[in-house]
Amino acid sequence: MIPANLIAKKRDGKNLSKDEISWFITNYVSGEISEEQMASLLMAILFQGMNEIETFTLVEVMIDSGSKLDFSNSNYYVADKHSTGGIGDKVSLILAPLMAAAGLQIPMIAGRGLSFTGGTIDKLESIPGFNTSPSLETFNSWVDLNNCAIISQSDQICPADKKLYALRDQTGTVPSNPLICGSIMSKKIASGISGLVLDLKVGNGAFLKNYESAKKLGVWMKKIGEAFGLTTDILFTSMDQPLGRSAGLSCEVLESMDALRGDGSEDLMDITYQLGSKLLIQSNITTDIKESENLQRSLINDGKAFEKFEAMVKVQGGTLEKLETTSHPSNEVSILSNADGVITRMDTEKIGWALVELGCGRKSPKSSLDNTAGIQFLKKIGDEVHENEPIYHLFNSNPKLLNSAKRMLKKTFEIKDSLKKDFRLVLGEF
């Protein structure tokens, strides 16, 4: 087969066969096909899409490119959660230990920041010593010991996706339904879980800008889950404003710790509880939403969820005491309101790019991260503000980047006399 011919075939809107897809990706992973050729195919897929057979083949090739975990002998219901990415989305840091405390096993394989959205692994690695890259044998032992562990994608599980994931981030090919499905579902299926809950983010701060496109992706996710024997529930949540009180790296870990101690923001805990309820009902630990939410609140109130988080961090080599001392930024500044009124809109994607500018994300594969960087959201949609009152508080360890991000953030919110339409956090489910 000739790579250029297959690229042209997809460019022209024709379907690739199973053998062609398998051959192209296998040879890309082995180095026989260049990044430029793979990037061209990804761009063709972005514009022309893939049909059901092509998408299922993509998932299967991703899975077969590496090892698979096996939890079939577990005495627990083994499940996971995944989000399509947003600003301030720290739910995984809370939900994994919370579900472990409830009696599930959560072997979570999470991602790094992608484009303008934050990554769970980058946040966890702001904890000094936290190991996100163990062997699969060690990962299994962590899950057996504590019922939860969170690691980055290894070279052993779906190595094809690991390589493609980084390339998509650098080539503007992230928002493609087949590529999103292939990336997310291959990792989850290969991790040996029985159940999955997906948080599909919708809005100006998400890859999915509207509910209709999100539903189309949800249909594909559900279809793939069923085809591979994975129970899959889906929640659609708004990313028209950041989630929680902060976005960044170590600041999100600290906020997650506060949430696990009982001091979580209403929007953050609402999504956490709804996603957790899906998994608790899947596992037959609870039978309805009310019982599920009550159980989760009790596990937070009695400290068991936070104990699981502490145990997970310790098992994975992290030191929370050091986080408290390494998370202090050397530069801080506030963004002030320029009028009296009500916050009616936030440009969440632009906030995400400002976070990248601050040092929370990568502009290139070799970019280093600033674990002290982030933004605190003092006002959000529906909140009343007065002129010269702080809207955001931003911080990092590089004054030049801080000033650049400040300029970007000044036009990321609108203030009007009143809010004409209530902000909806949860948009739907199936």
Give the number of other CB atoms < 10 A from CB of residue 399: 11
* Alpha carbon distances (Å) from 12 to 5, 28, 41, 182, 250: 11, 21, 11, 21, 45
Q: Which one-letter DSSP state was computed for residue 422? A: P
Residue 183 known to be catalytic: yes
Closest listed residue to residue 87, CA positions, set 339, 257, 296, 255: 255
Question: Could you tell me the strand order of the sheet in which 374-377 lies?
Answer: 246-248, 374-377, 390-396, 331-336
Whole-angstrom Cα distance, residue 384 to residue 120? 32
Q: Which of 10, 82, 162, 188 does the annotation list as catalytic?
A: 82
CB-count exposure of residue 203 (10 Å: 0-12, 13-18, 19+): buried
From the candidates 163, 187, 201, 215, give the one annotated as an active-site residue: 187
The residue annotated as part of the active site, out of 168, 245, 308, 350, is: 168
Q: Give yes or no: 393 in active site.
A: no
Q: Is 11 a catalytic residue?
A: no
Active site residue 347: no
User: C-alpha angle with apex 202: 199 to 204, nearest 5 degrees?
Assistant: 140
Active site residue 245: no
Annotated active-site residue in 115, 183, 191, 327:
183
The rounded distance, in Å, linking the Cα atoms of 100 and 379 is 33
CA–CA distance, 325 with 334 (Å, rounded to integer): 22
**Residues 170, 114: Cα–Cα separation, whole Å:** 9
Annotated catalytic sites, by residue?
82, 161, 168, 183, 187
